Structure 1
Amino acid sequence: MTYPTTYHVPRGGLPPQNALTTDRARFTEAYAVIPARTLSDITASFLPGWTGMRMWVLARPLSGFAETFSQYVVEVAPGGGSDAPEADPGAEAVLFVVAGTPVLTLDGAEHRLEPGSYAFLPPGSRWTLHNRSDETAALHWIRKAYERVAGLDVPPAFVTREQDVAPIEMPGTAGAWSTTRFVDIADLRHDMHVNIVTFEPGGSIPFPETHVMEHGLYVLEGKGVYLLNRDWVEVEAGDFMWLRAFCPQACYAGGPGRFRYLLYKDVNRHAGLST
């Protein structure tokens, strides 16, 4: 079956006064779940150097929480943007657009982005982002302090689209589980991967993965049931999950359509032995 490509877009606002307070929000030593409705007006953040912008911080380096990355959902109003979006010269980033048509200027070249656009920005990149359209734009902004290695060059910037990258079927799954990889896993210049993982209805991770990579998972589409440490948690489009290194994880797609998420993980570097 062929599905149209859709991405969840947060809309802010507030739950009504008659909404149930009980929710799936969880914060534990091994994982966290931030449900979609948490991304409301009163939880939005703002940054200096931007106009017409607000964002929701899903993850940030914090003792007992995310250690290697930060992740924002950014909303840019018509006419909004920034000429100096990144304040840290050592930060690399991935931008993934879920709504609108913002314009990325990267090393002097303009790129008109659209839903599904993906940009990798190495540390020290000269870039700006502006929304010149009449429609609000929304995108994920994932940041990590790049870990340099002697003998390896910093990987170059690039811009692509999910629609132009063929997903790779996971072995033995007959397409029920696939991964859209934007970076060659053999390219050791990269110290993080940001992929899209797709499960067809009924597809699953059939064993508890327990490994060194820290994860950030934002559900782009559909719903599923996720094993987080020892808890099974139902998740849906717009939910975010953070998984600490070695947190056991598994899942199965639990709806009538695809279950898809944007996945961050740290890769290809020694485990640090000092703080």
Structure 2
Amino acid sequence: MATAFVNGRHLNYADAGGDGRPVILGHGFFTDHSVFDAQAEALLPHWRVIRWDARGHGGTPDDVEPYTYWDQARDVLALMDHLGLASATVGGISQGGFTALRVALLAPERVDALVLSDTEATPCDPGDKIGYGQMFAALAEHGPIDDLTGPLSQQIIGDDPRAAEWRERWKQGPLPLGAAAECLLERDDVSGRLAEITCPALLIWGSEDRSLPRDRMDLLAARLPAATPVTVIPGAAHTPALTHPAEVNHVLLDFLSTTIPSPTTS
């Protein structure tokens, strides 16, 4: 792991290194960059996987002042500058995808392709906003007790042994309950701008995802001009890259090798 001072703040990231084409991946809410460890290993040496911790997650501190996913997209672009990357494939899960879409809108010339997993372009659904708001309030009041982290791990990780690992990690804290939660709940709608994103886009969704319904991925497929059909990962919940790495790696490698050929493969 490494830390870069970018966009006026310290940002934690992990860089697999090497001379391959760069792939920058952002995690979902309540997790961190380590959910992509299997992808970093599988894609070497032809691709260089860079994973970063969003504000308030992992080793990247939260801010006192409010911020948006547009601000976090600028974090990614600043990290690319820090690493000397003119362009990269950019992607992520859930909020990592929210950020990736905004990176592509801010600087389309710097995004070779998108990898979007279990994510959406629309704002937080009103019903979801109420439910998440209640969960954040309960976590703030009671802390990461089992009654709260059990359902949370089921939602994010599903029926996978790593759910228990994440429940233990949440107990160590801190949880993203400040500006990070506000960023999630108050995100804006970019669905009307998807036609502006003309780079290739890989779409992945877990068949057991209860956080993000399939129709939100279908909207991406319909409106992104160069999107693949949605690839469904059977049995996966909200974080397929972590729980079903073999299946995700197969799809990802196929997409990258046919869409963004690495110089090392030519």
Q: TM-score range by the shorter chain?
A: under 0.3
Specify the structure having the higher radius of gyration (Cα): 1
Greater length-normalized contact order (CA 8 Å, ≥ 6 residues apart): 2
